[in-house]
A and B are shown apart, each in its own frame.
Chain A
């Protein structure tokens, strides 16, 4: 027999709370930040963490926030930064003249050599990924 909706309450899982998930993401980011570029470990770690999050996101193991049925008309404003970024990334990629007119990733590479910056980038990537999984 179905229970009335108003009597059911979803109990959040322990690992679903920020007090658990944020330290977990920090630990994963600190490990990721230590792995050198172009190494097999970095590749495997990225594929492993990303794969696990995709698996969680495509299964129904994590509660999701309700998605909007329609977008407000103001959503077109998002095209402004996307277009500016796309124009510069496209131009730098098409011309491919290296450091003279660098792509975004070529500019980011020297910054990501620092372990702290790398760990911060790892955290931003994982936190955003976790946010997408919850959507």
Chain B
């Protein structure tokens, strides 16, 4: 029962990601695509340090290591 709930919850999240991305790609949409949101986050800098870029790269690197190396 709890397992089904977990699978359902994660599946819902994945479908919601796809739905929002789909809505963002429609003509004249006010929702930015995920790539644009990432690009905006990566603009964040503290002085000369590209904190947003380092943070997002680090997160993505960790995600790959977590799923693909362990």
> Does residue A80 face the partner (Cβ distance < 8 Å to B)?
yes
Do residues A43 and B38 form an inter-chain contact, with CB atoms below 8 A?
no
A104 within 8 A of B: yes
- Give the interface size bracket for A toward B: 35 or more
Cβ proximity bits A70-104 to B, threshold 8 Å, 1 near / 0 not: 11111101101100110110001000010111111
Contact of B10 among A107, A129, A132 (CB under 8 A): A107
Q: A54-B61, A68-B39, A75-B32 are in contact. Are A32 and B16 (CB under 8 A)?
A: no
B37 in contact (CB, < 8 A): yes
Chain B residues bordering chain A, tally (CB within 8 A): 45
Task: Tell me if A15 is interfacial: C-beta within 8 Å of chain B.
Answer: no
Complex Cα gap A84–B2 (Å): 16
CB nearest to A97 among chain B residues? B2
Query: What's the count of A-B pairs with C-beta under 8 Å?
Result: 136
CB <8 Å contact, A101 and B6: yes
Q: Measuring CB to CB, which residues of chain B are less than 8 angstroms from any residue of chain A? A: 2-3, 5-7, 9-10, 12-14, 16-17, 19-20, 23-24, 29-32, 34-40, 42-43, 50, 53-54, 56-58, 60-61, 63-70
The chain A residues found within 8 Å of chain B, CB to CB, are 32, 35, 37-38, 42-43, 45-47, 50-51, 53-54, 57-58, 65, 67-75, 77-78, 80-81, 84-85, 87-88, 92, 97, 99-105, 107-108, 112, 118, 121-122, 125, 128-129, 131-132, 135
